[in-house]
């Protein structure tokens, strides 16, 4: 039966609860324990699948097809434990489940209320899989005091009361702001945050205090006294140069020991941190640098491309180089020459996205990489734009485009080299979709198999011809154009097992040009870089010697 750690936040958002949760999970693993991490989000969207990337950042997709918060990406990257649908829930999903049960009559005519019906639904979610691991880490989104978070805080209060003593620990993250005029860190925001938490029945066992300055002993003692925790349970969370410092930094501050002490686990197994020491060494001691352009449409918010950046960093670790990522707005190419913005980069990555805005710029980026022999990795929409570019400029299909853009414009303007996928097979089931279906959860989502062509570049990179990758898209490249494109050197080197859906394209006579319909960045980890990103950065490193 699992022990539970509930991670909450106070004072302000974006303190790094997700990173702290992931680092704690990694440290518990280093001591030999099995862990699972979960996110409970108070927003009313059923999931983040329909949210704008500007609003929420990237959507992280699990193997079983859940669209989740980007913090689940941190959980996977730091622990290597594949997230599942049962690891993410929102208030929208909770209320949806409750209302569905009410409509079916499951509550036998009872008046439906937040307590007990909504809180019971949340507790049922927390209980799922509790017998599978040693520790279950559950992060509550938002900050204490947010009105939408109250049902979640009440649910975990009840949950802790129902569990035997010693099986639940509360960890609270707060901010210690530094006032230059006073020359000191101020503890009052933390005191008020803990007071707010205690007013709803939750007493933190461990306090993690985020600051950009070291915490003097006097302030630690003050926090411990006024927040009713031991001095050793006041953990400093200083700013870091890299998120991959976090496990070692939190270990030095004693986070994992404080949590184990709170559970009464003594003596605790000694941690084996060789993996994280090696990760740190690769991050801080590179033997060179490569410049990679990410040509995207959501560049104003870097979290929109979080997993891409981390996967590039992992590829850099594999090659002992620092990857310097620079953001290029795809829309600027619609006015300017692509060369003016892409000259000097060692490689170009074009990520996924939705809608027509910026796509002509992505097409020009693919053309620039193709004609200048620059390593190119196109992911999802980035693959589709590379295919459209080749169709227009190599295969002579001048009006090549995507059905997605025609649907958006409400009229036919393109020959649809990329079309809306109406049905496909997942496992043993056939799935059908219409263009005008609801947006949420209607894409080709989750893990699918692909078969690679013997002797192709990608088969060499993967070291196999059978792979499994995660998808999130509605549109596919039409195979009826395959022969025309392959005649011009664009090889369809990865296909779905039934041969209907293109998964990977590559250029035959190019140093490194690959497009994939799936999202390899979602499966990359610092201690296990995804092979495509590792080889993409290797190609960039080779190119850097030629530039």
Q: Report the CATH number that the domain containing residue 206 is assigned in CATH.
A: 3.40.50.300
- 190 and 337 in a single domain? The answer is no
In this structure, the answer to whether residues 351 and 488 fall within a common structural domain is yes
Range of the domain at 65: 3-279
Number of domains in the chain: 2
Same domain, 315 and 261: no
State the first-to-last Cα distance of the chain, in angstroms, to the nearest integer: 57
Instruction: Report d(CA 313, CA 231) in Å as an integer.
Output: 36
- Alpha-carbon distance 59 to 51, whole Å? 9
Alpha-carbon separation of residue 399 from 184, 420, 491 (angstroms): 64, 17, 21
Last residue in a domain, options 257, 279, 301: 279
Q: Is the peptide bond before 501 cis (omega within 30 degrees of 0)?
A: no
The answer to whether residues 411 and 403 touch, using CB atoms and an 8 Å cutoff, is: no
Query: Do residues 301 and 257 both lie within one domain?
Result: no
The most distant pair of C-alpha atoms in the chain lies apart, rounded to whole Å, by 75
Residue whose token pair is 């205090």? 209
The catalytically annotated residue of 219, 245, 360, 521 is: 521
Catalytic residue among 117, 314, 519, 530: 519
Q: Which residue in 400, 372, 391, 366 sits closest to 515, CA to CA?
A: 366
Rounded Cα–Cα distance for residues 292 and 344 (Å): 9
Residue where one domain finishes, among candidates 279, 310, 333:
279
Domain-terminating residue out of 279, 310, 345: 279
Encoding tokens for residue 249?
């930094």
> Which of the following is catalytic: 139, 380, 415, 473?
380
Per 3-state DSSP, the chain is made up of helix, strand and coil in percentages (nearest 5) of: 40, 25, 35
Can 138 be counted among the known catalytic residues?
Answer: no
pTM, rounded to two decimals: 0.92
Same domain? For 205 and 106 the reply is yes
pLDDT (tens, 9 = 90+) of the chain, 547 residues, equals 899 999 999 988 888 999 999 999 999 999 999 999 999 999 998 888 777 776 767 899 999 999 998 899 999 999 999 999 999 999 999 999 999 999 999 999 899 999 999 999 999 999 999 999 999 999 999 999 899 999 999 999 999 999 999 999 999 999 999 888 878 899 999 999 999 999 999 999 999 999 988 899 999 999 999 999 999 999 999 899 999 999 999 999 999 999 999 999 989 899 999 999 999 999 999 999 999 999 988 777 778 889 999 999 999 999 999 999 999 988 887 777 777 788 899 999 999 887 777 788 899 999 999 999 999 999 999 999 999 999 999 999 988 888 877 665 555 777 788 877 655 455 556 555 555 554 455 678 899 999 999 999 999 999 999 999 999 988 899 999 999 999 999 999 999 999 999 999 999 999 999 999 999 999 999 999 999 999 999 999 999 876 5
Chain centre distance of CA 311: 10
| CA angle centred on 444, ends 443 and 445, rounded to 5° | 95
One DSSP character per residue, 197-244 reads HHHTT---SEEEEEESS---HHHHHHHHHHHT--GGGEEEEE--S-GG
Distance separating alpha carbons of residues 387 and 397, to the nearest angstrom:
11
């Amino acid at each position: 039966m699992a022990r539970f750690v509930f991670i909450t936040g106070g004072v302000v958002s974006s303190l790094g609860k997700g990173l702290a949760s992931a680092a704690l999970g990694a440290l518990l693993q280093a001591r030999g324990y099995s862990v699972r991490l979960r996110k409970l989000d108070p927003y009313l969207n059923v999931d983040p699948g329909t949210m704008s990337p500007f609003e929420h950042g990237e959507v992280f997709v699990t193997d079983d097809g859940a669209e989740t918060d980007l913090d689940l990406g941190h959980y996977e990257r730091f622990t290597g434990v594949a997230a599942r649908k049962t690891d993410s829930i929102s208030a929208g999903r909770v209320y949806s489940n409750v209302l569905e049960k009410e409509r079916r009559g499951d509550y036998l005519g009872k008046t439906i209320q937040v307590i007990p019906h909504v809180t019971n639904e949340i507790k049922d979610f927390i209980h799922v899989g509790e017998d599978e691991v040693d520790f279950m880490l559950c992060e509550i989104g938002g900050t204490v005091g947010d009105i939408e978070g109250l049902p979640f805080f009440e649910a975990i209060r009840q949950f802790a009361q129902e569990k035997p003593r010693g099986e639940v620990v509360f960890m609270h993250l707060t901010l210690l702001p530094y006032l230059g005029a006073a020359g000191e860190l101020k503890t009052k925001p933390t005191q008020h945050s803990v007071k707010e938490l205690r007013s709803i029945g939750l007493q933190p066992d461990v306090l993690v205090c985020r600051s950009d300055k070291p915490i003097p002993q006097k302030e630690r003692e003050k926090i411990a006294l006024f927040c009713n925790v031991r001095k050793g349970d006041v953990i400093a969370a200083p700013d870091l140069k890299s998120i991959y410092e976090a496990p070692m930094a939190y270990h030095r501050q004693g986070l994992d020991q404080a949590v184990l002490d709170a559970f009464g686990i003594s003596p605790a197994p000694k941690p084996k941190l060789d993996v994280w020491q090696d990760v740190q060494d690769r991050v801080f001691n590179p033997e060179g640098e490569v410049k990679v352009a990410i040509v995207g449409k959501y560049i104003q918010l870097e979290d929109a491309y979080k997993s891409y950046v981390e996967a590039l960093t992992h590829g850099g670790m594999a090659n002992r180089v620092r990857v310097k990522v620079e953001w290029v707005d795809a829309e600027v190419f619609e006015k300017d020459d692509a060369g003016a913005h892409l000259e000097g980069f060692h490689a170009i990555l074009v990520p996924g996205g939705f809608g027509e805005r910026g796509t002509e710029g992505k097409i020009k980026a693919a053309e620039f990489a193709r004609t200048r022999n620059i390593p190119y990795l196109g992911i999802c929409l980035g693959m589709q734009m590379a295919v459209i570019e080749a169709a227009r400029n190599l295969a002579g299909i001048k009006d090549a485009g995507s059905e997605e853009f025609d649907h958006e414009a409400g009229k036919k303007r393109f020959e649809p080299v990329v079309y809306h996928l109406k049905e496909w097979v997942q496992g043993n089931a056939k799935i059908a979709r219409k263009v005008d279906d609801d947006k949420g959860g209607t894409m080709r989502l989750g893990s699918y198999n692909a078969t690679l062509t013997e002797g192709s570049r990608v088969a060499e990179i993967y070291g196999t011809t059978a792979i499994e990758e995660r998808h999130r898209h509605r549109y596919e490249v039409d195979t009826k154009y395959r022969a025309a494109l392959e005649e011009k050197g664009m090889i369809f080197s990865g296909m779905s097992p039934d041969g209907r859906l293109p998964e990977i394209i590559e250029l035959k006579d190019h140093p490194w040009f690959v497009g994939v319909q799936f999202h390899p960045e979602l499966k990359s980890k610092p201690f296990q870089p995804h092979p495509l990103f590792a080889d993409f950065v290797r190609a960039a490193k080779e190119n850097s010697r030629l530039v």
